[in-house]
Structure 1
Amino acid sequence: MTPVNDWPQAFVCAVADPSSDKSGSVSCPCCGNLLSPEQITSLKEQLAAEPVPVANLPPGTMFIDPHCHMIARTTADYIAMATAGIVAVIEPAFWLGQPRTNVGSYMDYLSHIVGFERFRAGQFGIRHYCTVGLNSKEANNPELAEAVMEILPSFAAKDGVVAIGEIGYDDQTELEDKYLRAQIELAKELDLPIMVHTPHRDKKRGTIRTMDVLYEHGFDPTRCVIDHNNEDTVRDVLDRGFWAAFSIYPGTKMGNVRMAALVHQYGPDRMIVDSACDWGVSDPLALPKTALLMRERGVSHEAIVKVTYRNALAVYGLNGEMKASDWLDPIPIDQRALYSGNSILRGGQAPRVTDTVSKNTSLEIS
């Protein structure tokens, strides 16, 4: 039998689900055949005897993943994330992998992340928030950029929007600089925090340049998250008073072993961990897995809570849209609900309906 730690996370969640005690509810990840009640019972026993790593965290552990592109993820990811203790996600406006050709496609995208994606996450017990902005790559299309800047204020005023972002530099062009500055001014006008995307190329220069521009515009660094940091940028970001976020993205950006070392070195203050999971090779469980590794590496429980939960709530909760009560006192899950006449379910699928959602209250929230 394949070891539990090698099971697909969505399969683990399905097996662990109390409702999966009859045939027809769980499919084998190898062959696709529906499992019998006897097989499910056997798998549950194996799961109890050999728990997956994320199950080794303290009971009631909660996480906020403040950088997730859930429009690119599946419902199985939501199930796995909720099972691992993720209670809230933030979805930053993002590059889709190919250029958008007109402002209408941008409007549809922003409408999705403030609307349907918020609904979809809630159907699995996760609170969904987002940031809105013109990304740095598409700032190089001035016709599109001007049109996007016209619509951003209306989207920034919608429920669940917690910041302007992700904004910053890509190739560090003059157009990128122009629209970065315009969006900093928009954030000031709307009294919203900012999420900054630091460039993949020439990262340190781009990060320092971004902070210089923010200072030029008089933007309060305590209201700004500089994301995608690494060992070359973290000291500058912290020394200047900004929040330093780190994306645990496989093979690039930041690894969880390196992240644990950075928390040991710099401490947890103004440090934030996220997954940046998207349409690429990425892991929606990167946050709880990193928390587990930090625990194994001797990082204190209080420090882990700060970098995986409390710090994100502190900065992204500044405009009042994101509150701990959203998940500590949640609304019931009812998968019979519809969004624009549509359900997350397909024919024959049984809806999950709960009177209450189990509350994770073992952490002290401040």
Structure 2
Amino acid sequence: MRIFDPHIHMSSRTTDDYERMAAAGVRAVVEPAFWLGQPRTGPGSFTDYFDSLVGWEPFRAAQFGIRHHATIALNPKEANDPRCRPVLDLLPRYLEKDGVVAVGEVGYDAMTPEEDEVFAAQLALAIEHGLPALVHTPHRDKERGAERSLAVVAESGIDPGRVALDHLNEVTVAGAREAGVWLGFSIYPDTKMSPDRMVAILRRFGLERVLVNSAADWGRSDPLLTRWTAEAMLTDGFTADDVDRVMWRNPVEFYGQSGRLDLSETGSADATFAGNSILRGGS
């Protein structure tokens, strides 16, 4: 089994996590730029962060045969801080980097006028640089947030097939599917989706344009939840080819639109998966 996690915040994870992920069959990841928990106070801290996403993290991942790519953006939460607005002027420099495969995460946190402006500006950058866009739907008032996100996407003129609307759930998936965007689902304890809920959505809506990610970050999360979802699919009767489509071919197709996806020299360590204590944090 080969897995491509299309949304995981490896800056928040240990090197041991890379080792566990490689053993579970994860061969490629995309790490979106996001809010780090502690508010940043100026553009310089973003420069250091973006540099780590295109430099240090690919190096860490490569030690375990995992290809690391990034998406770059001013995240929705910090779009509300006027001290961070100059980051928009930094983005074109990073959107030309080889390992950057989309603009993201963009979208909404609290659905403020400031977020409206920054969201629209970054979709324009995606069009200008020929990149897909990864859109974050808000954690609160998700249905209205998803609807508003789709309206901004439509107004921007970007091809909906170059947009992934992420953190969807049972309430928001139908509207996103109708709009023609890619459907992103985060398998994340307590606050987002579970493997069983994801399998039920796949049964109802099919496999086309579906991206399944762990969104693992500094919160209570698990970077192996893509693997557990794949196992749940097989248990429910999906074929190995179905799993490969969702967990590998779909993210390759979406991010491949950037023209920068490099999946050479990816590892193949999943043979050690069964019974390997490292996967569940054992010693």
User: Shared topology, TM-score over 0.5?
Assistant: yes
Mapping of 1:3-152 within 5 angstroms?
A: 61-145=1-85, 147-152=86-91
Larger radius of gyration: 1
Q: Describe the superposition over 1:151-203 as per-residue Cα deviations: whole angstroms up to 9, x where unpaired.
A: 00001111210000000001000000000000010111001000000000011
| Maintained 8 Å contact 2:22/2:268 | no
SS of 2:105's partner is strand
Letter in 2 for 1:100: R
Work out the percentage of aligned pairs sharing the same amino acid.
Answer: 50
Question: What is the 5 A alignment of 1:238-253?
Answer: 238-253=177-192
1:323 offset after TM fit, Å? 3.8
Give the gaps of 5 or more residues in structure 2: 271-283
Determine if the alignment matches structure 1 residue 166 to structure 2 residue 105: yes
Matched, 1:194 2:133: yes
Q: Which residue of 2 aligns with 1:27?
A: none
| RMSD, aligned CA | 1.2
Displaced runs of 4 or more, over 3 A: 357-360
* Counterpart residue number, 1:177: 116
Would the aligned equivalents of 1:88 and 1:126 in 2 still touch at CA under 8 Å? yes
SS in 1 for 2:219: coil
Deviation (angstroms), 1:358: 5.0
Shift of 1:254: 0.7
Cα shift at 1:301: 2.4
Kept in 2, the 8 Å contact 1:264–1:299? The answer is no
CA distance in 1, matches of 2:240, 2:161: 24
Asked whether the 8 Å contact 1:267–1:303 carries over to 2, the reply is no
Q: In the alignment, which residue of structure 1 is the partner of 2:220?
A: 281
Q: Which 10-residue stretch deviates more, 226-235 or 302-311? A: 302-311
Pick from 202, 209, 216 the counterpart of residue 148 of structure 2.
209
Letter in 1 for 2:73: G
Q: Distance in 1 between matches of 2:268 and 2:252?
A: 20
Stretch of structure 1 that moved more, 296-305 or 212-221:
296-305
Give, as a single letter, the amino acid of the residue that structure 1 aligns with 2:111: Q
Task: Quote the Cα distance in structure 2 between the aligned partners of 1:90 and 1:286.
Answer: 15
Give the aligned residue type for 2:148. Answer: R
Q: How many residues align?
A: 270
Determine the structure 2 residue equivalent to 1:33. Answer: none
Tell me the secondary structure at the aligned position of residue 211 of structure 2. Answer: strand
Alpha-carbon contact 1:185-1:217 (below 8 Å) kept: yes
Q: What SS class does the counterpart of residue 261 from structure 1 fall into?
A: helix
What is the distance in 2 between the residues matched to 1:172 and 1:262? 27
TM-score normalised to structure 2 length: 0.93
Looking at structure 2, the residues matched to 358 and 141 of structure 1 have their Cα atoms a distance apart, in angstroms, of: 43
* Secondary structure, counterpart of 2:39 in structure 1: coil
